[in-house]
Structure 1
């Protein structure tokens, strides 16, 4: 029997097209949009985690001293420069005393004159006292003679008047002495005030430390309270740290921390929370804290150097724990893709605290033993088929 030409042509087309369609279907189902998505899964575990806070801060001096004059004046000399180590009481600068030395010398002369006046007044008091004693004695003698009519009444009255005059002279001499003593005290007080002003013109280091800033040069006129020299105590450094308010639950004074300085190659330096600031930063929404070094690093870091602070928080009770990489936002809800019977579906969850290893507690939505998708080769939907793998390389094919 002879096959028609049309039929032979149709058979040839079918023979060619069927393998092509089969190959296309295979490609679509195995590597195309309908192919299963490679995923890596994990099993939910119930365990404890030790959360930690991560913050950024800067090195600062706990004690900062601004040294300047208490009255307006011109700088005469400066004896220190930035970076110099100084001892307590060391002279850092001197202000021009203008006429203070001359005014102190003038008061010294006035005080010596007052002291001489006091000696003269004391001599006057002694003289007046002697005259008073003599007048009183004469009055008593004449009073006794009057009883025998030896002297006249006029003579007795004269002696009484002499006694009163001597008493008045003694009182005047004593008043002059008191006034001279008051003048001496006033002049000495004025001199002491000028001497203190003169001493305040010598600017000294209040403690052992390092000069951090030199704000003026000799010849510069400074106002009262303006700092000429600024210094710090290098033995008391701490970190001004900032922590995100959303994660700052549990932050309290005394917690241990690890400090990583830029200048120390990331080496962890032990520290602790020394103080929590009452005022937070409303712009950056961060809580502020001071972190002390347990042991000062060597060499000492520069003021203002950036530092990273990790604070260990108390261990939390056991709850279901997953990797935060598994949490996705689908239709505005946070959740994970659960795997059941080889299929996936989205399960909303409520999460709690997390640690710096990427583990996070699940408050609601999962339980121990649930299998969830942690990583996937592409964005998942409920219509996707999945292929579970342990090889991360398959996720990037």
Structure 2
């Protein structure tokens, strides 16, 4: 994995390259970034750059013996640790082939995607004590080929108290041994481990980076890429997931839904409910997610912050018109209703009943001008 293969994150890439060139490589580092930010890919690219035999000013060479092995995740000095879902006797090495396949297919891995590769069902993810012992064993040896021996620990949030067994190897590692942790939630990491690492914060991807990737490498039209980039909210994992489902525009359908409810045309709402019920669960979730995002942009317009609205021009014009007949309390109420609907769709609620109920709630807010205050409804 080379830095140039990773979407965006230019500032983080430059920081990592500079730390190597200035010989300021910390032995224990925490790559902390939200899902879909590319933090795992950055850790692998960083390790490859460290081991590259012909480093370029801004990337690894990609052709030396070390780089070729890194690109296949088969370098003898590169080790991985990640959550597993089975018995306490299982270790990461038991699933290394699945891991290479999963990362090679999609460097923007999520735990749900990884779960699918190991056929774990609904078993709980964890990094067990046996895995901790395996980590200690791997890091006790000197580098075999490269200057550095590297262990990348993905999702240390799944280390329980047994993670304290790693404290000594993190604090006093063998020479030229690097411990790279890749996490999403700082609050769920053991404080004893957190305090012993150098923190590298990785932001979510920006709209333009995701849109550009979808157009140039995934054959998406400008319109489709714009909508997916907007819906993914900086999460490349989510954007790639959306590509597997219909790329139809949700804008027209959502606005028509609001207009039906605003005019209280109950007979027209019923065909919409039937249509939404047949969309499929993932498309229903994406549709509700789009509606939530669109209404948030309306709130920005109502608050006088139109300059930071990210909607395409056609959708922006619609948002302006919607904002003219809607207040911020109304928009916030609708957002809450859509978020609740999204939550229930994820838990297999009956879509026909759910969309009918949400339609009635939207009619109550837009047509009858009723918004909640505490547990009571009062006129706005």
Q: Per the shorter chain, which TM-score range? A: under 0.3
- Higher relative contact order at CA 8 Å, sep ≥6: structure 1 or structure 2? 1
Structure showing greater Rg? 1
> Per residue, is there more helix in 1 or in 2?
2
**TM-score, length of structure 1 as denominator length:** 0.19
More strand by share: 1
Name the TM-score, length of structure 2 as normaliser.
Answer: 0.19
